[in-house]
Chains A and B, each alone.
Chain A
Amino acid sequence: ETGVTQSPTHLIKTRGQQVTLRCSSQSGHNTVSWYQQALGQGPQFIFQYYREEENGRGNFPPRFSGLQFPNYSSELNVNALELDDSALYLCASSLGLGGGFANTQYFGPGTRLTVL
């Protein structure tokens, strides 16, 4: 069983550019959540996708957008990059929605984005 994978591992961009980060969910998982973790902070929820539909969004501007594909992999797109977007971006997948241990979120290794 393959775990959650993310690409690329590291990325360096300049202010104003656009970036796309990718995530492959764990086998059998149909829900993907994205988090931003600034240095020294806990992760902050960006949004969640369930069966290709957005299922909730955190306090992030519209220049943060996403997609989920039929195979449940997902992309996070960030337009008009700002210096404060420099962070570790974590993707997590879960079996589905709902509570309980069964829907625990399992994380990928993250993509470290640096904006210069």
Chain B
Amino acid sequence: AQKITQTQPGMFVQEKEAVTLDCTYDTSDQSYGLFWYKQPSSGEMIFLIYQGSYDEQNATEGRYSLNFQKARKSANLVISASQLGDSAMYFCAMREGGGAQKLVFGQGTRLTINP
């Protein structure tokens, strides 16, 4: 069964610093996708970045990058030059191939950016 583990319940970072949010996953599938979502206090899940299991290069999207280490089954999110608006819950999720295209989420990391 697929599983996502986020070991950091909370992170506190100074504004403008870079931050890395950890995510490890477990799956027996060869084909899968990894996602990061941001959830502000309003509740909406905002898609940030995607990494496919066959992608050889790490995904990047503006200030977000995904440090994908397939052998270690890790998919850490890196936010460069953090901003106050980055304060939110961050969820790592995985989608396996075949059947229902469901997302399996981790427990999340609450990121707080201090001015």
Residues of chain A having any CB pair with chain B under 8 Å: 31, 33, 35, 41-45, 47-48, 55-58, 88, 90, 92, 94, 97-101, 103-110, 112
Contact = CB atoms under 8 A, between A and B. Distances in A.
User: How many B residues are at the interface, by size bracket?
Assistant: 20 to 34
Contacts of B100: 33, 45, 47-48, 55-57
B114 interface: no
Contacts of A57: 100
A92 B91 contact: no
A101 B47 CA distance: 11
Contacts of A45: 100, 102-104
Interface string B67-98: 00000000000000000000000010101010
8 contacts: A33-B103, A35-B103, A41-B108, A42-B106, A55-B99, A90-B43, A105-B103, A106-B47
Contact of A104 (B32, B35, B97, B105): B35
Contacts of A31: 101
A112 B97 contact: no
B42 interface: yes
Interface of B: 4, 31-33, 35, 37, 42-47, 50, 52, 91, 93, 95, 97, 99-108
A42 B101 contact: no
A42 B102 CA distance: 13
Contacts of A41: 107-108
